[in-house]
Structures are given as structure tokens and as C-alpha cells.
Amino acid sequence: MRIVQSPLGPIALAADATGALVYLGFQDHEPRTRRQARMAQAPDLADDPALFALAERQLEDYFQGHRTTFDLPLAPRGTPFQLRVWEELRRIPYGTVLSYGALARRLGDPLLTRAVGTANGANPISIIIPCHRVIGADGSLTGYAGGLDLKQALLELEGARPRRLFDLDR
């Protein structure tokens, strides 16, 4: 596990033995802190200085407004459904937002809205898998494991406006 600094607070990173990122979360927020503690107990984590340095550089570029996508090996850990949701999250372009309902429709079932919200909240690789880009159907900022203040800060950094819903069904 490595801690890197960001304008929004310290970020914890964890990698597996294959050289892929398995965790990225804001260290100072309680839900992430509990997940980070569980992650630190995982037996297959590895210290990967090269991966951590690359992730830190890409995060610095992102926070400076110079990076809109990430190019890092990822290995998020979750259920098959969570993995599907997280893959769809990666398709939401920088600077745009998508409602939970639209994401459920993209996954093929509009009744999955609550399940999508739960999977979104369980995302182990914040920012890179951009769960902060998912908002309520009315444009409100809802549900972010790092806190709504961080969600708002990330969306502002990206220039996203909740009224600019990005509907993947179109």
C-alpha cells in the first residue's frame, strides 16, 4: 500500500502481484478507510514502486487538468455484476455525468437502478473508475463513498455540470 498526496487529500493505492492497481481511495474518509484497512490485510498485495509512481504521475496530471483518461493496469475485485457496472463507468467520458437509471438501462435493465447504486458505491478504484460521474436522475449529487464534497470537487475539476446528463442510450 502506498499513500500519495493530492489537492483533495491523501490517496491510498494498492497493487496485486501481477502489477495491477486493485485499490485507489481517499485516505481520510471513513468508508474508504475501512475498505483500505481490509485491503491492507489482503495476502496477495505487492509493493510495486513503478506502478505507484506511474499512478501518482497520472493523478497529478489529472488534478492539474492535463489528463482526461488513465492508462494503468487495473484489477478491481468484485462480483461479476459489480465488474460489469465498473466497466460501464469507465465509458462515461471526462466532464460528463450519467444518472443511475441511465447506467442501469445501459446494462440492459432499468430496474437495476438500486443495484447499480450499490455497485457504484463499492467501486474500489475511485477516480480512475469514475463513480463520481454518476448522479441522481434529478441532477442531484448523491452517494459517494468519499463524501459529496469530494464528488462535487471532482466534477468541478472536470467541468461537469449535472444538467449536462450524458445518456448512453442515445
98 phi and psi angles, rounded to 5 deg = -140, 140
DSSP states along 29-53: SHHHHHHHHHHHT-TTEE--HHHHH
Q: At a CB cut-off of 8 Å and minimum separation 6, what does 24 contact?
A: 11, 12, 13, 14, 55, 124, 125, 126, 127, 128
Alpha-carbon dihedral angle through residues 144, 147, 148, 153, given to the nearest 10 degrees:
-100
Q: Which helix (H) or strand (E) holds 151?
A: helix 148-158
Q: Is 131 one of the annotated active-site residues of the chain?
A: yes
55, 42, 79, 12: CA torsion to nearest 10: -30
Catalytic residue among 51, 85, 131, 160: 131
**46 Rama class: left (phi>0) / alpha (psi -120 to 50) / beta:** beta
Which positions are annotated as active-site residues? Answer: 131
